[in-house]
């Protein structure tokens, strides 16, 4: 089983003649991170680059990453490439329809890059990639129904049912972050109002703190800073204030925990999972804020006192989950070591 990221160095590539590797690349809005990944999910030779703004530069940068990763490998060792993309893909996952922070629009990325690299290429949504990695090599291993929720600037989610990723009929499920929890609530960039991620994410913390500061008579430094310079406060500042005992910071984190419990209870009601894994920059803090998860979920989930409730666990693969999952899916499709059906 994989270890937590802090304890998870990249390792030497085994010299076994049968070793087959795949490449995983996580293409985020700010950074590209690519690596060779072996059949047990171990990560080798990580290469990171800033994400460029134009299609040509993005394709060129990815090409440099791939060329550097395959350069020292014997021919035939690398079986394919998996790209984890933060955006909407077509149903067959060959075309990037739209990615808010990437220049690709309606571009058949898989085909174009496969031709260029001479390697088969698979695309996957980044949340699904991370979820698949936690299922194959991390905290969701063995789950019959597992939900992997990534909590950072927003909320991403992946659903694993009987060893397969569940993507819905049109490939866009599950968008848990955009469940409407407050009718007419805070505006969401998705176009709706009151979405869960507007109340339960790193970026939501500043909104919650600002609302609480207006409602209550808070005297601590966070309230003073918010009144003086709201635009300069970020979610991390709210967490730090809470850690320092600032009353507004503490109350804001409690609200965050309350909303998270509401969201997870909806997940329990709809999917009845045996395992929920929390990943992303807010994950560790989320687990802490939830406290006794079963006690939090029992009154919120339908029939909560009379049914089994899921384990809620911290993800084990950290920032590399997306690229590990994409690489593993590529290995499964393109002839790597045999794995269970990847859906």
Query: Does 178 contact Zn ion by CB under 5 A?
Result: yes
According to CB under 5 A, which one of 21, 195, 200, 297 is a site residue for Zn ion?
A: 195
CB of 101 to Zn ion, least distance (A): 16
Strand partners for 98: 88, 105
Contact 199, 181 (CB under 8 A): yes
Instruction: Bin 336: left if φ > 0, else alpha if -120 < ψ < 50, else beta.
Output: beta
333 binds Zn ion (CB under 5 A): no
Strands of 21-27's sheet in order across = 43-50, 31-37, 21-27, 78-85, 121-125
Q: Which is nearer to Zn ion, 195 or 330 (CB)?
A: 195
Question: Does an H or E element contain 250, and which?
Answer: helix 247-271
**Nearest to 329, CA basis, from 137, 157, 59:** 137
Beta bridge partners of 21: 78
Q: Using CA atoms in the order 306, 308, 309, 311, what is the torsion angle rounded to 10 degrees? A: 160
Judged by CB under 5 A, the stretch of 17-25, 32-40, 188-196, 282-290 that binds Zn ion is 188-196
Q: Is 181 in the site for Zn ion (CB under 5 A)?
A: no
- Applying CB under 5 A, the span of 111-119, 165-173, 177-185, 288-296 interacting with Zn ion comes to 177-185
CA 223, CA 133: separation in Å to the nearest integer?
40
Taking the complex as a whole, the smallest distance from the CB of residue 263 to Zn ion amounts, in Å, to: 13
**# chain residues binding Zn ion, by CB under 5 A:** 5
Query: Rule CB under 5 A: is residue 182 a binding residue for Zn ion?
Result: no
Query: Toward Zn ion, which CB reaches closer, 145 or 190?
Result: 190
User: Closest CB to Zn ion among 190 and 314?
Assistant: 190
Q: Does 94 interact with Zn ion (rule: CB under 5 A)? A: no
Site for Zn ion contains 188 (CB under 5 A)? yes
* Least distance between Zn ion and beta carbon 184 (Å): 13
Instruction: Give the number of residues written for the chain.
Output: 343
Q: Which stretch binds Zn ion (CB under 5 A): 140-148, 187-195, 238-246, 267-275?
A: 187-195
Looking at beta carbons only, is 182 or 190 nearer to Zn ion? 190
* Separation of alpha carbons 275 and 27, rounded Å: 27
- What is the Cα 242 distance to its own chain's centre? 24
Among 114, 181, 190, 234, binds Zn ion (CB under 5 A): 190
Contact range with Zn ion by CB under 5 A, out of 30-38, 113-121, 175-183, 230-238: 175-183
CB atoms < 10 A from the CB of 115, how many?
10
How far is the C-alpha of 221 from the C-alpha of 341, rounded, in Å? Answer: 53
User: Of 19-27, 143-151, 170-178, 211-219, which segment contacts Zn ion by CB under 5 A?
Assistant: 170-178
Per CB under 5 A, residues contacting Zn ion are 178, 188, 190, 192, 195
């Amino acid at each position: 089983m994989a270890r937590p990221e802090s304890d998870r160095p990249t390792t030497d590539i085994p010299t076994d003649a049968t070793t087959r590797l795949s490449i995983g690349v996580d293409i985020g809005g700010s950074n590209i991170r690519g690596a060779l990944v072996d059949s047990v999910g171990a990560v080798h030779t990580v290469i990171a680059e800033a994400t460029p703004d134009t299609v040509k530069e993005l394709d060129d940068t990815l090409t440099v990453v791939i060329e550097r990763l395959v350069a020292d490998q014997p021919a035939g060792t690398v079986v394919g490439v998996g790209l984890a993309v933060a955006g909407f893909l077509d149903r067959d996952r060959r075309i990037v329809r739209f990615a808010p922070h990437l220049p690709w629009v309606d571009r058949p990325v898989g085909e174009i890059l496969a031709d260029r690299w001479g390697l088969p290429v698979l695309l996957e949504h980044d949340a699904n990639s991370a979820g698949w990695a936690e299922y194959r090599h991390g905290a969701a291993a063995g789950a019959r129904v597992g939900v992997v929720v990534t909590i950072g600037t927003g909320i991403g989610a992946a659903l694993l049912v009987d060893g397969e990723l569940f993507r819905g009929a049109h490939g866009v499920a599950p968008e848990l972050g955009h469940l409407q929890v407050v009718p007419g609530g805070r505006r969401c960039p998705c176009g709706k109002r009151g979405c869960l991620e507007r109340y339960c994410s790193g970026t939501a913390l500043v909104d919650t703190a600002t609302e609480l500061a207006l409602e209550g008579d808070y005297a601590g430094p966070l309230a003073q800073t918010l009144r003086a310079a709201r635009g300069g406060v970020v979610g991390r500042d709210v967490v730090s204030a809470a850690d320092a005992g600032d009353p507004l910071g503490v109350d804001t984190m409690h609200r965050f925990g309350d909303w998270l419990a509401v969201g997870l209870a909806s997940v329990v009601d709809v999917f009845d999972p045996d395992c929920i894994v929390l990943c992303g920059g807010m994950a560790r803090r989320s687990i802490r804020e939830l406290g006794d998860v079963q006690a939090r979920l029992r009154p919120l989930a339908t029939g909560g006192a009379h049914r089994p409730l899921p384990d809620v666990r911290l993800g084990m693969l950290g920032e590399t989950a997306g690229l590990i999952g994409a690489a593993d899916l590529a290995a499964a499709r393109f002839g790597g070591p045999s794995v269970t059906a990847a859906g």
